[in-house]
Chains A and B, each alone.
Chain A
Amino acid sequence: NAGVTQTPKFRVLKTGQSMTLLCAQDMNHEYMYWYRQDPGMGLRLIHYSVGEGTTAKGEVPDGYNVSRLKKQNFLLGLESAAPSQTSVYFCASSPRTGLTFFGPGTRLTVL
């Protein structure tokens, strides 16, 4: 099993550009999450999904959109990137009552 994978690993955007981060998991997990981590900080939950076709807001959802069209994929979109969105983004997945598994992260810089 590949576990949780994220693409791309690195990206540099200019202010106002858009992009989509892709997360895929092959563990048949119900729940998926997107977090961001800023230097010296813990992780903050952006959006999450409790099943295919469902999404919900986390702690810091503004400026992001998500979609879960397939159970194994969870997409994070930035419609108009801002420098404040410079961060490392982590995707995670979990079964309903088990441990959460994290992807390796995507390092995003917005100039």
Chain B
Amino acid sequence: SQQGEEDPQALSIQEGENATMNCSYKTSINNLQWYRQNSGRGLVHLILIRSNEREKHSGRLRVTLDTSKKSSSLLITASRAADTASYFCATASGGTYKYIFGTGTRLKVLA
């Protein structure tokens, strides 16, 4: 069963707009990672946020974590056509580093 569930499943926006995608999970976690996957390619890690952190930034990316709601969000600001990809969250729980992935959000940025 999937630990993480991304929402929405698909998102289409105009270049320059912000894109927000959410991840909900079921059990307590050690940390949560966000990944990007371009069509037909491998996964690229974006950000890791630990359970004792609430927010992290990396360039145009902002990740928040709310452990009370068991949810995380990924915000991409000033989106570009090159941001078109699928985005996945992955969580590790129970004192392990066995990462379980969600089903992903497919983002399309229109030029």
Contacts and interface: CB of A to CB of B under 8 A. Distances in A.
Q: By CB atoms of chain A within 10 A, which of B2, B90, B98, B103 has the most?
A: B98
A102 B38 CA distance: 13
Given A100-B33, A100-B90, A42 B45 contact: no
A44 B90 contact: no
Interface string A25-61: 0000001010100000111110010100000101100
Contacts of A90: 42-43
A97 to B, nearest CB: 8
A102 B33 contact: no
Contact of A42 (B41, B97, B98, B102): B102
Interface of A: 31, 33, 35, 41-45, 48, 50, 56, 58-59, 90, 92, 94, 96, 98-105
Given A50-B96, A105-B41, 7 more contacts: A33-B98, A33-B99, A45-B101, A50-B97, A100-B45, A100-B99, A102-B42
Interface in B41-62: 41-45, 48
B42 A103 contact: yes
Interface of B: 1-2, 4, 33, 35, 41-45, 48, 88, 90, 96-104
B1 to A, nearest CB: 8
Contact of A98 (B2, B48, B98, B101): B48
A96 B97 contact: yes
Contacts of B102: 42
A33 B96 CA distance: 13
B53 to A, nearest CB: 13
A42 B43 contact: no
The 6 closest A-B pairs by CB, nearest first: A42-B101, A43-B101, A102-B43, A42-B103, A99-B45, A104-B42
A101 B44 CA distance: 7
A105 B98 contact: no
Nearest to B1: A59
A99 B99 CA distance: 11
A102 B2 CA distance: 19
